[in-house]
């Protein structure tokens, strides 16, 4: 009986440790679709540091982030718990296609313009060698990224659902920043 209790205690500790690690430190995600082509491919696994989400860090320009696209609702700790792969496996709730992988283009206070098939940030055209093809998008006027929000776009600009469609992303909806794969360097 003592050995069984030892096993149960060890398994419980391992599960709790995995949950804490995945909720607060890092988590794997799978790219769903082609909106980040050519940088990331459909079905590719990426690993995301969740420290920016845990400690409310502002991601840098160009960072690839995972966002919760449900910007019209507030996020809670329960959302983070239910989004953990182990919890999803146990509850039987698969991917509900609300998590998107995108690139940070604008930070709070930035003024963005979309003209001449380019993105302009604070009056300067962005150098974006990572995009798939020339962007076929223009918008009238300028937009300003509000406080505590970011503006994100996919690298496959002509085939991406991003901040142009869903709006500015509250910082608490930025789930984390992609960790570069050291084996690819």
Count of other CB atoms within 10 angstroms of residue 19: 15
Q: Exposure of 34 by Cβ count < 10 A (0-12 exposed, 13-18 middle, 19+ buried)?
A: middle
- Is the peptide bond between 38 and the residue preceding it cis, with omega within 30 degrees of 0? yes
Asked if residue 116 lies in contact with residue 126, where contact means CB atoms within 8 angstroms, the answer is no
Query: Which residue carries 């980040």 as its tokens?
Result: 36
Q: Which residue among the candidates 35, 52, 69, 160 is catalytic per the annotation?
A: 35
Q: Cα separation of 151 and 19, whole Å? A: 29
Q: Cα separation of 65 and 179, whole Å? A: 9
**178, 180, 183, 185: CA torsion to nearest 10:** 150
* 160 given a catalytic annotation: no
The two three-digit tokens of residue 16, written as one number = 């709790």
Q: Which residue among the candidates 50, 102, 132, 160 is catalytic per the annotation?
A: 102
* 102 given a catalytic annotation: yes
Asked if residue 139 lies in contact with residue 153, where contact means CB atoms within 8 angstroms, the answer is no
What residues are labeled active site?
35, 102
């Amino acid at each position: 009986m003592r050995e069984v209790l030892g096993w149960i205690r060890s398994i419980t500790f391992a599960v709790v440790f995995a949950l804490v690690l995945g909720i607060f430190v890092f988590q794997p995600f799978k790219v769903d679709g082609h909106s980040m082509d050519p940088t990331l491919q459909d079905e590719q696994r990426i690993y995301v540091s969740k420290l920016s989400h845990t400690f409310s860090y502002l991601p840098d320009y160009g960072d690839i982030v995972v966002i919760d696209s449900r910007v019209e609702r507030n996020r809670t700790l329960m959302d983070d718990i239910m989004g953990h792969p182990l919890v999803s496996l146990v509850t039987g709730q698969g991917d509900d296609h609300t998590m998107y992988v995108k690139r940070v283009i604008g930070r709070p206070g930035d003024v963005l313009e979309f003209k001449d098939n380019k993105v302009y940030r604070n009056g300067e055209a962005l150098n974006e060698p990572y995009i798939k093809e020339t962007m076929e998008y223009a918008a009238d006027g300028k937009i300003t990224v509000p406080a505590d929000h970011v503006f994100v776009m996919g690298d496959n600009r002509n085939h991406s659902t991003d901040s142009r469609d869903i709006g500015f992303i509250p910082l608490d909806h930025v789930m984390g920043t992609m960790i570069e794969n050291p084996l690819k360097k």
